[in-house]
Amino acid sequence: MKRLSIIVLCFVLATACGRKDKGFKPDRLLNEQEMIAIMADVQVIEAEINYEKQKERERDPDDTTFVAPKDYLKMSREYYGQLFEHYDITDSIFSQNMQYYTERPEVLERIMDSVTRRLMKAANEPRRGDSQ
């Protein structure tokens, strides 16, 4: 969540210092529901990467088993590649839509609130195979 907030903040700052044209539209405008789904998956990706980093940092220093350090940039590229393929978009389309929505903070806030609700609901749902 922290990393995504930083990404969104960077987009906001970049657009605030750059183009003032509120008429900018991406080559392919994703609607709010599509952005909610994509941003929820972005949150999951970022959580997984952060979890792996934390797990590596907390590894017992007395554990002599060799574990190759993970290439987080490669991991990130793979996850985002799968995300873009799943939603049939490119990184450029995603970036353009982030720019579009950061220029409309009230809409972006609504999207991010929906993302948070979606993730909280998913976290509270019992998983398959869990005993009740």
Quick one: pLDDT at residue 22?
66
DSSP string, 1-68: -HHHHHHHHHHHHHHHHS---TT---SSPPPHHHHHHHHHHHHHHHHHHHHHHHHHHTS-TT--S--P
Which tokens hold the place of 11?
A: 């987009």
Q: Is it the case that residue 20 has pLDDT exceeding 80?
A: no
Quick one: pLDDT at residue 65?
75
Residue ranges covered by each domain of the chain: 2-56+67-118
Quick one: pLDDT at residue 3?
60
Q: Is it the case that residue 50 has pLDDT exceeding 80?
A: yes
Indicate whether this model's pTM tops 0.85: no
Quick one: pLDDT at residue 60?
74
Q: Measuring CA to CA, how many Å separate 67 from each of 50, 54, 117?
A: 18, 14, 37
Asked if 46 contacts 1 with a C-beta cutoff of 8 angstroms, the reply is yes
Round to whole Å and give the CA distance between 13 and 16. 5
Q: Measuring CA to CA, how many Å separate 80 from each of 74, 106, 111?
A: 10, 26, 19
Residues 93-124 have pLDDT tens digits of: 999 999 999 999 999 999 999 999 999 999 99
